[in-house]
Chains A and B, each alone.
Chain A
Amino acid sequence: QKEVEQNSGPLSVPEGAIASLNCTYSDRVSQSFFWYRQYSGKSPELIMSIYSNGDKEDGRFTAQLNKASQYVSLLIRDSQPSDSATYLCAVSGMDSNYQLIWGAGTKLIIKP
């Protein structure tokens, strides 16, 4: 069974520090990896996608992918209280609809 694992948290990080969120996946043939942010009571919002090994940076966010270790991470630099949310890791397989396999999410709390 294909699985995506995340630490549920909460992960507490002081304002201005780097928040590091981790995710592992079980299916070696996974091709596409995503980070979504979900505020309480709201729907998920796509913040990063990554498809090849290495780092991908977008503003304060950096996604890191290591396919050999089946590991993907999200770094948030200069964390702000508005970054407090649940971060969902999702992995796409090879089925024809590119259905996503979801992690349970990590709750991040940025303390002022």
Chain B
Amino acid sequence: GAVVSQHPSRVICKSGTSVKIECRSLDFQATTMFWYRQFPKKSLMLMATSNEGSKATYEQGVEKDKFLINHASLTLSTLTVTSAHPEDSSFYICSARKVGYEQYFGPGTRLTVT
């Protein structure tokens, strides 16, 4: 199997606070994990790529100081949205890659910043 979990599934926070989202590969070791965001009725947008034990690679236009990514082990990556604002409200989805090419997605985290 290839199961990826994400926690929390839904979070509401106040503007200015920080939110941490966890992504775990439950039954395999993930060589690489990816973080995406998706606005309603829009395409997936890759935010960053992370490999265990090294710094994440951010896509152009994604602020690394605002979206902190830590990939501490082969089964866990975290995304922290710092000083969240209403425009950060979105659907955040992680995926994990097994050895090979296929990516498996977590169920996503819906973030609402009030």
Contacts and interface: CB of A to CB of B under 8 A. Distances in A.
Interface of A: 31-32, 34, 36, 41-46, 49, 51, 88, 90, 92, 97-100, 102-105
20 contacts: A31-B101, A32-B101, A34-B101, A36-B105, A42-B107, A43-B105, A44-B44, A44-B93, A45-B105, A46-B104, A88-B44, A97-B32, A97-B49, A97-B97, A98-B97, A98-B100, A99-B46, A99-B49, A103-B43, A105-B43
Interface in B35-63: 43-44, 46, 49, 51, 57
Contact of B101 (A36, A43, A98, A103): A98
A37 B57 CA distance: 26
Contacts of A99: 34, 46, 49
Nearest to A105: B43
Interface string B68-105: 00000000000000000000000101000100111111
